[in-house]
Structure 1
Amino acid sequence: MNVEEEVERLKEEIKRLGKAQDDGSYTVTFGVLFNDDQCANIFEALVGTLRAAKKRKVLKFEGELLLQGVHDNVEVILLPEPAAVAKA
């Protein structure tokens, strides 16, 4: 799986495990993602995928690197997808 595919899968998992917000975003804690069996089976390097998604401005979280235990309560926020551009 390449990075783009992993980021897309991560978005799906955050939607599955997270809570939808009024602005169209989804929130989930790092601990929930890290400890989920399905995520563990999908992502060989969850932390690396999170960093790649953050770099692409798909999601946001505090800090640069999330570590199990220390950062379990850090919120990972899947940003809302931009609205489709209307064609004139």
Structure 2
Amino acid sequence: MNVEEEVGKLKEEIQRLGQQQPDGSYKVKFGVLFNDDRCANIFEALVGTLRAAKKRKILTYDGELLLQGVHDNVEITLLPPPAVAAA
């Protein structure tokens, strides 16, 4: 699986496990993602996929590197898709 595919799957999993916000974003705690069996089967390197998505400005979270246990309560926010301007 390439990085773009993994980031796409990560978006789906955050939507499945997270809570939708009024602005269209989704929020999920790192521990929920990390400890989910389905995510464990999909992502070989969840932290690497999170970093790739953050670099692409698809999601945001505090810090650079998330570690299981220490950062279980860090909130990951999947940003809403950018609004398309009317032509």
> How do 1:27-66 and structure 2 match up within 5 A?
27-66=27-66
| RMSD of equivalent CA atoms | 0.6
> Which structure 1 segments of 5+ residues have no match?
none
> How do 1:19-30 and structure 2 match up within 5 A?
19-30=19-30
Q: Secondary structure at the match of 1:54?
A: helix
What is the distance in 2 between the residues matched to 1:12 and 1:23?
17
Alignment match, 1:74: 74
| TM-score calculated relative to the size of structure 2 | 0.97
Q: Secondary structure at the match of 2:28?
A: strand
| TM-score calculated relative to the size of structure 1 | 0.96
Shift, 1:84, TM fit: 2.4
Alignment match, 2:7: 7
What is the distance in 1 between the residues matched to 2:12 and 2:20?
12
What is the distance in 2 between the residues matched to 1:50 and 1:80?
16
Shift, 1:86, TM fit: 2.2
**Over residues 28-64 of structure 1, what are the superposed CA-to-partner deviations in whole Å (9 max), with x where a residue is unaligned?**
0000000000000000000000000000000000000
4+ residue runs of structure 1 moved beyond 2 angstroms?
84-87
